[in-house]
Amino acid sequence: MFGFDGKELKILLIERNEEPFKDWWALPGNIVGPDESLDQSASRILYELTGLRGIFMEQYYAFGDPHRHPQGRVITLAYYALIRLGGDKELRPISTYAKRANWLPITDLPKLAFDHQKIYDKGLEKIKRRIKHQPIAFELLPEKFTLTQLQHVYELVLGKKLDKRNFRKKIVSFGVLKELDEKQKGVSYRAATLYRFDKRKYAKLFGKEISF
């Protein structure tokens, strides 16, 4: 679960309460129910941990080394999720099977239990590729956002600085943003125009390649 709070990209980690890897940080996960699809299962597990529904998720890889769990065979079907943090609704876990859960910035992650570092790496890699061709950045932003915020998301995910003017020209040229009549509020500098992602216009582009 990747979250963006307006400043940093973070992931949700849980501190394990049991052996093996007791007291280590780990990626959240759980067991697929007997009557769930994999997508449903991922949504349920996310919901139990955050209280959130309707979150964007995508399956990206299955990890199945026979020795990845010391106590027996576990195959993990990995999903990433993209979440707007720090908005109106705060996260309220429905259940936790761990000591605690914490959003930690990806720039400063602890050692992870099992092969979770590998799972995380592959997930981030997937998002990097996806964000260049699919409008997933908006999943990390509030419904109304400024172009600078959007650029910030791209920079954090891709791990590099982008040119402001070129970014704006390009992203606007895709024609999937709707400029609002509204301005940013509560900032002590010139207020930026707010934009909204226009799903209709995006749907019309279907089949065409967007490339960043």
Partner DNA sequence: TCAAAAGTGTTGCGATTACACCCATGA
Partner DNA sequence: TCATGGGTGTAATCGCAACACTTTTGA
Interacting residue ranges for a second copy, rule: CB under 8 A = 32, 34-38, 41, 59, 61-66, 73, 75, 77
| Beta carbons within 8 Å of 16's beta carbon, 6+ residues apart | 22, 23, 24, 25, 26, 98, 99, 113
Residue 18 CB, shortest distance to DNA, in Å, is 43
Give the sign of the dihedral formed by CA 41, CA 96, CA 56, CA 157.
negative
Residue 55 CB, shortest distance to a second copy, in Å, is 19
Comparison of 84 and 116: residue with beta carbon closer to DNA: 84
The partner in contact with residue 73, picked from a second copy, DNA, none with C-beta cut-offs of 5 to 8 angstroms by kind, is a second copy
The first and second tokens of residue 23, run together, are 């007291």
Distance set, CA 31 to CA 17, 75, 123 (Å)? 17, 10, 19
The partner in contact with residue 34, picked from DNA, a second copy, none with C-beta cut-offs of 5 to 8 angstroms by kind, is a second copy
Residue 64 CB, shortest distance to a second copy, in Å, is 4
Residue 26 CB, shortest distance to a second copy, in Å, is 21
Comparison of 59 and 148: residue with beta carbon closer to a second copy: 59
**C-alpha angle 153/137/81, rounded to 5°?**
105
The partner in contact with residue 158, picked from a second copy, DNA, none with C-beta cut-offs of 5 to 8 angstroms by kind, is none
The partner in contact with residue 94, picked from a second copy, DNA, none with C-beta cut-offs of 5 to 8 angstroms by kind, is none
The first and second tokens of residue 72, run together, are 């027996």
Comparison of 62 and 94: residue with beta carbon closer to a second copy: 62
Can you give the binding site for DNA, defined by CB under 7 A?
146-148, 163-166, 168-170, 187-193, 211
Separation of alpha carbons 120 and 152, rounded Å: 21
Comparison of 61 and 202: residue with beta carbon closer to a second copy: 61
Residue 71 CB, shortest distance to a second copy, in Å, is 14
- The position carrying tokens 């890897």 is 21
> Would you say 104 and 28 are in contact if contact means Cβ atoms under 8 Å apart?
no
3-class DSSP state of 196: strand
